[in-house]
Amino acid sequence: MSDVKKTTIVLFSGDYDKVMAAYIIANGAAAYDHEVTIFHTFWGLNAMRKDEPIQPDKTFLEKMFGKFMPRGADKMPLSKMNFGGAGQKMIKNVMKKHNAMPLPDLIELAKEQDVKLVACTMTMDLLGLKQEELHDGIEYAGVAAYLADAENGNVNLFI
Amino acid sequence: MSDVKKTTIVLFSGDYDKVMAAYIIANGAAAYDHEVTIFHTFWGLNAMRKDEPIQPDKTFLEKMFGKFMPRGADKMPLSKMNFGGAGQKMIKNVMKKHNAMPLPDLIELAKEQDVKLVACTMTMDLLGLKQEELHDGIEYAGVAAYLADAENGNVNLFI
Amino acid sequence: MSDVKKTTIVLFSGDYDKVMAAYIIANGAAAYDHEVTIFHTFWGLNAMRKDEPIQPDKTFLEKMFGKFMPRGADKMPLSKMNFGGAGQKMIKNVMKKHNAMPLPDLIELAKEQDVKLVACTMTMDLLGLKQEELHDGIEYAGVAAYLADAENGNVNLFI
């Protein structure tokens, strides 16, 4: 085990509150000089979606999935108390009042702090997501790369 | 890494069954002489709410959130098969039949075993929860304190 | 800490996608020579249920729970975008198209790779599940056994 601490998060969830928890821990760990990786898989991939409606060559079912899944972190629902989006709006308002960072800013901060953002290629296939729909400058990998990061890690979380 | 084993749990969930899983693992680890911390954040904070209806000075939206969120561990729903509370009742009945501890007792046991119970101050602000609403004798901290516990830990879980 | 890497997963969830994530990580870790344990608890126990309708001696409530819970991994719903089963069918179709393994095959592969599959006896009681309903050749244990595996582990996840 090297001297540098490592935090590796599998981000499976696509809920606003869980993604926020993941990025707050990631940014905190990066501030404490951890090497941090967030491995986005399944619904967590939606945090990496661009805001614009990109329609690459997709099958009908892929289009349907793409349409119903949130386009980017800012559009994700809460896992609880969402009330058709009202709960998410309340959380965002309170965050503004407390000068807390909204989720898209937490993601930008993670990039600035060199948190390694990875998209799981296998689940991209399953959900019909293409690289041109996702944020620029992220990495693409599979479970082997995840394990290589995690097996020497200090803080391993599945969110 | 010191000789004492450490278990550190981020308790994000506010579901009866998940909170139960967290406290069973925490109590088990404490029984095996681990230093155990449960860091309550987001919906997991509701496990630390007192049963009485305390109405500190709150905004309208904070009051609404406070009203809809379960007041204490005993009132939490199941994550699955809740059937409007019937599933939770069934689980509680079976637990009684098997002489298993109900959740409030698991939390008391954790306190007796010196499990460190922490409430995340940042998410308390987001959900409008005040210290006077929460159990006495718990600690208040943020992500930095969590990481200090977790980075030298043996068992790190996000529940 | 021994030289062999260890991956220990608490599988709490009974959602098709989360169980899939657990078994993909488990199989990956086994392929990289980790000692891997999946500790099935609560709804994750349903992944170990046999397909046949077995009706051991059960109380009425246990039968009701048994009827509403999915009988085996193949029948589990998605955690998101399930659309009454349509989303799960789509994921399965895409997996076939990409020659990805369906969940029951991932579980078989895990067995072939000597992943230790454990069923949590305490939660079996709570959900009214009996050993004759579950896969053959798995182990039965409680939280103490889990901790013994996890406390020397490299990758510890709660899914």
Quote the mean pLDDT of chain A.
92
Check: CB of residue C51 under 8 Å from CB of residue C71: yes
Residue B58: inside a domain: yes
Q: Quote the DSSP letter at residue A154.
A: S
Lowest mean pLDDT among A155-159, B10-14, B78-82, C21-25: B78-82
Cβ burial of C1 (10 Å; 0-12, 13-18, 19+) is: exposed
Domain hosting residue A62, numbered range: 6-158
Residue C1: inside a domain: no
Which chain B residues are Cβ-neighbours of A28 within 8 angstroms? Answer: 143-144, 146-147
The domain total for chain A is 1
- Among the partner-chain residues B41, B68, B69, the one whose CB lies closest to the CB of A21 is B41
Q: Length of chain B, please?
A: 159
Q: Check CB contact under 8 Å for C151 and B154.
A: yes
Q: Where are the alpha helices (DSSP H) in chain B?
A: 16-31, 60-68, 86-97, 103-112, 121-127, 143-150
Residue B1: inside a domain: no
Q: Region A78-104: what's the mean pLDDT?
A: 87
Check: CB of residue A141 under 8 Å from CB of residue A148: no
- For the cut 70, the answer to whether the pLDDT of residue A157 exceeds it is yes
Neighbours of chain B (3+ CB pairs under 8 A): A, C
- For the cut 60, the answer to whether the pLDDT of residue A83 exceeds it is yes
Neighbours of chain A (3+ CB pairs under 8 A): B, C
Q: How many CA atoms lie within 13 A of C36 on its CB side?
A: 28
* CA-based nearest residue to A34, from A75, A1, A81: A1
Residue C68: inside a domain: yes
| CATH number for B61 | 3.40.1260.10
Residue C105: inside a domain: yes
Which chain B residues are Cβ-neighbours of A156 within 8 angstroms? Answer: 156
DSSP string, C32-65: TT-EEEEEE-GGGGGGGB-SS----S--HHHHHH
> Which residue's structure tokens are 């084993």?
B5
Amino acid in position A56: P
Torsion, CA B56, CA B59, CA B62, CA B68, rounded to 10: 80
Q: Which pLDDT score is estimated for B57? A: 81
Q: Check CB contact under 8 Å for C91 and A157.
A: no
Q: How many CA atoms lie within 13 A of A127 on its CB side?
A: 31
Which chain C residues are Cβ-neighbours of B28 within 8 angstroms? Answer: 143-144, 146-147
Strands (E), chain C: 6-11, 35-40, 116-120, 139-141, 155-158
Which pair of tokens denotes residue A9? Answer: 């998060």
Residue B21: inside a domain: yes
Q: Region A98-114: what's the mean pLDDT?
A: 94
- Among the partner-chain residues B61, B122, B146, the one whose CB lies closest to the CB of A90 is B61
Which pair of tokens denotes residue A126? Answer: 């399953």
Q: Where are the alpha helices (DSSP H) in B32-81?
A: 60-68
Q: Check CB contact under 8 Å for C155 and A152.
A: no
- For the cut 80, the answer to whether the pLDDT of residue C55 exceeds it is no
Residue B110: inside a domain: yes
Which chain C residues are Cβ-neighbours of B32 within 8 angstroms? Answer: 144, 147, 151
Check: CB of residue A23 under 8 Å from CB of residue A107: yes
Q: Which pLDDT score is estimated for B67? A: 85
Q: Which pLDDT score is estimated for A121? A: 95
